[in-house]
Amino acid sequence: MTPRTQAPAATHCPYCALQCAMSLSPTASGASGPALKVAGRDFPTNRGGLCRKGWTAAELLTHPERLIEPLLRGDDGELRPVSWDVALERAAAEVRKAQAAHGPDAVGVFGGGGLTNEKAYLLGKFARLALGTSRIDYNGRFCMSSAAAAGNRAFGVDRGLPFPVEDLGAADTILLLGSNVAETMPPFVQHLAGARAAGGLIVVDPRRSATAALTADGAGTHLAPAPHTDLILLLGLAHVVLNDGLLDRSYLARRTEGLESVARSVAPWWPERVQAATGVPATLLRETAGRLAQSARTGSCYILTGRGIEQHADGTDTVTAAINLALLLGLPGSARGGYGTLTGQGNGQGGREHGQKSDQLPGYRKITDAGARAHMARVWGVPEAAIPGPGVPAVELLASLGRPASPEKPGGVRCLFVHGANVVVSAPDVTAVREGLRALDFLVVCDFFLSETAREADLVLPVLQWAEEEGTMTNLEGRVLRRRRAVDPPAGARSELWIMHRLAALLDAPSSFPDDPETVFEELRLASAGGLADYSGITYARLDAGEALHWPCPDAAPGAPPHAGTPRLFAERFAHPDGRARLVAVRTPAPLPAVPTAGAFTLATGRLLEHYQSGAQTRRVAALTAAQPEVRLSLHPAAAAQLGIADGAWVRVRRERAVAGAGLPGPSARPEPVVLARAELTSGIRPDTVFLPFHFPGLAAANRVTEQRTDPISGMPEFKTTRVVVEPAVVEPAVAGPPLLASAVPSHREEQ
């Protein structure tokens, strides 16, 4: 890998959706370490700041474990290098074999929220035209799907922040629900400074997280509801707003529908009843509602949601309740505040707009809409009938892997392509997912490291990293950004665009599959034109000249000036045909069953400051691994004392009740999955709750014990309220620690 230029390259961080601006420049000749030096750049989202992950991002470009040639598994179970021709011809042959035996949907595609817009767009096209399959979804289903579903039904469109992030600086009150931004996107914290100075940062989290700690010393309020009661808390806040006459009646009459049904639905949730269910004092509930309403009238108020309230089997309803509260206060589209959700993955926003989701076509079009299908058929130059119908969401897709046909269900996916995801660590119930991967006839994984999922593959294709490619990303504000190539990639690595271009030719696919990013983006512009997420007025030239544009940005009429983009999405109207937002009544969640099991807790999963997603990248950065080398279970000291667990002791975490494999192949009963972790005692968590980060593999994978239960509207898995039992564990010194945790589960052929 060599630098392309001696001048600093302006680009953006490869990690979260804040997409902090950075510059990359070559290090001095002969210097040890990374080939590129990272520096923060002034930009509205980060104002020059970067987190630990961003500062160390360039180290991965020259990592010794980098994949630089295709790997094919032989009859002896070993992965060995092969040429690109052999690799792609084998992949094409396996596609034909699976589809000849089982039909088009026997081939599946699992994408990722870190792919550029160009790759996400072409991957959706590749799945539907080159493979002819409806079986495509992506890991954003685990991240943003509930917020997207709630935004679509309330506003008619889903964009994480429908306003620029810098607008938050003027707020004197911010209600932040289920997001630990101080660790997940640290440069974001500076946008909370105004609310903290005014004493108006309100954080809802069952843990005293780093973000909740920002409310100390008069900076705000920390509300710590019991697990599975976020929805009740929001219903209670809405009750106070309605009952005490704090709502914005003029706004509601002008801009919304559905007030009456929501008023009826929250009527039973008076503060004292909410206190009994959530543990949040009624006085604090009234004070919070009053603070929000006062700020909405005389200051600037924002309500923001994150994964903590979204990753539930009722996540869509919980986010809807947050949106209802914002609408009652007159915030969305107002100059006095707004509502938004904090997108997680680097291109979580753009990645879901252009065809990776099972039910969507580019431009945020519904795949079942006749007009949308006709538009895409024209752009792609194919008959409309050539575009498959909707597929299935991620959890259902993964549950179908290797499944034989039966009278009750069609056969499942037999050949799977994975791009930009590490499902062996990130998916719920990863033990069942691994069984599904091993039941496949053929698994193809595109990655730049031998991730835990790649270790299960029959064919591993080495792809480019962020600083080795051109393209665009769309951040949490709907701001489209340029990713710029700063270094040449290893000779054996290839872009996913090139891979799809070659495979499409081998499969005699209709339409075209360009391998040049700008050419793909030009087609994406046409595909998105007229859609909710309209990129048709955005070009590489405009992005290079002006840094970024917010969608929708339609192409201008001949002779008219270029569209300036839409930083504030709802200033004039919402995206429903009548321009009005919808208040939607939601049902009260069923209470968690009270099972008197010794050592039983509600498990919440989440992220650490030093690591990102499945950890496949950050666990390879020495400084980050040194700071967080192993998985730790956060546990309240009082609970630990009852169980005889000391700080730093090893513990076993298992589900309170065994859950069946949801139709996966193999025996109906399998060993009960457990997680092995060190106990970390902290008074910053409720005594009835424990917390595990989800960045670690093997016996340290938190998702060994999470369930495949999903939200019926969004398909979001239930990651936040798994009932678990915690027990002391004895670990032999020779096998304790990170080496065990990284390799405790044999790969695809090692156990055979």
**Angle, CA 169 vertex, CA 167 and CA 175 arms, to 5°:** 90
Backbone torsions φ then ψ of 138, nearest 5 degrees: -150, 170
> Which pLDDT tens digit goes with each residue over 349-399?
999 899 999 999 999 999 999 999 999 999 999 999 999 999 999 999 999
Asked, colleague to colleague, whether 9-62 and 71-143+352-550 share their fold, the answer is no
Residues of the chain above pLDDT 70, percent: 92
Q: Look at residue 30 in the predicted model and tell me its pLDDT.
A: 46
Residues 291, 297, 300, 303, Cα dihedral to 10°: 60
Q: What is the pLDDT averaged over residues 718-745?
A: 67
Start-to-end Cα distance in the chain: 37
Residue 423 tokens read as 């499902």
Amino acid at 209: S
Please say whether the dihedral angle defined by the alpha carbons of residues 108, 112, 113 and 115, taken in this order, is positive or negative: negative
Specify the DSSP class assigned to residue 256. Answer: E
Q: Look at residue 52 in the predicted model and tell me its pLDDT.
A: 95
Please tell me which residue, 514 or 410, carries the higher pLDDT value. 514
Please tell me which residue, 669 or 444, carries the higher pLDDT value. 444
Q: Look at residue 4 in the predicted model and tell me its pLDDT.
A: 57
Cα–Cα distance measured from residue 443 to residue 458, given in angstroms and rounded to the nearest whole number: 5
Q: What is the pLDDT averaged over residues 646-665?
A: 71
| Pick among 3.40.50.2300, 1.10.260.40, 3.30.465.10, 3.40.228.10: CATH of 161-341 | 3.40.228.10
Under the banding of pLDDT at 50, 70 and 90, the label for residue 662 is: very low
Q: Please state, in angstroms and as integers, the Cα–Cα distance from residue 648 to each residue in 58, 602, 630, 681, 701, following that order.
A: 33, 20, 11, 8, 18
At residue 98, does pLDDT exceed 90? yes
Q: Look at residue 596 in the predicted model and tell me its pLDDT.
A: 58
The architecture that CATH gives domain 71-143+352-550 is 3-Layer(aba) Sandwich (3.40)
At residue 601, does pLDDT exceed 60? yes
Q: Look at residue 595 in the predicted model and tell me its pLDDT.
A: 53
Q: Look at residue 427 in the predicted model and tell me its pLDDT.
A: 95
> Which pLDDT tens digit goes with each residue over 418-430?
999 999 999 999 9
Q: Look at residue 411 in the predicted model and tell me its pLDDT.
A: 85
Q: What is the pLDDT averaged over residues 186-196?
A: 97
Q: Look at residue 409 in the predicted model and tell me its pLDDT.
A: 80
How far, in whole angstroms, is CA 249 from its chain's centroid? 35
Q: Look at residue 743 in the predicted model and tell me its pLDDT.
A: 37
Q: Look at residue 28 in the predicted model and tell me its pLDDT.
A: 65
At residue 590, does pLDDT exceed 90? no
Q: Look at residue 29 in the predicted model and tell me its pLDDT.
A: 53
Q: Is 618 exposed, middle or buried (0-12, 13-18, 19+ CB in 10 A)?
A: buried
> Which pLDDT tens digit goes with each residue over 106-121?
999 999 999 999 999 9
CATH number of 9-62: 2.20.25.90
> What value does the mean pLDDT of the chain take?
92
Cα–Cα distance measured from residue 300 to residue 151, given in angstroms and rounded to the nearest whole number: 21
At residue 749, does pLDDT exceed 70? no
Judge whether 246 and 204 are in contact, CB under 8 Å.
no
At residue 721, does pLDDT exceed 60? yes
Under the banding of pLDDT at 50, 70 and 90, the label for residue 593 is: low
Cα–Cα distance measured from residue 397 to residue 587, given in angstroms and rounded to the nearest whole number: 28
Q: What is the domain class of 600-743 according to CATH?
A: mainly beta
At residue 737, does pLDDT exceed 80? no
Q: What is the pLDDT averaged over residues 263-285?
A: 97
Q: What's the pTM value of the predicted model, to 2 decimals? A: 0.93
Cα–Cα distance measured from residue 677 to residue 700, given in angstroms and rounded to the nearest whole number: 6
Judge whether 351 and 136 are in contact, CB under 8 Å.
no
Specify the DSSP class assigned to residue 267. Answer: T
At residue 658, does pLDDT exceed 60? no
Cα–Cα distance measured from residue 9 to residue 25, given in angstroms and rounded to the nearest whole number: 6
The domain limits of the chain are 9-62, 71-143+352-550, 161-341, 600-743
Under the banding of pLDDT at 50, 70 and 90, the label for residue 164 is: very high
Under the banding of pLDDT at 50, 70 and 90, the label for residue 657 is: low
Tokens 């549950």 identify what position?
A: 399
Q: What is the pLDDT averaged over residues 123-130?
A: 98
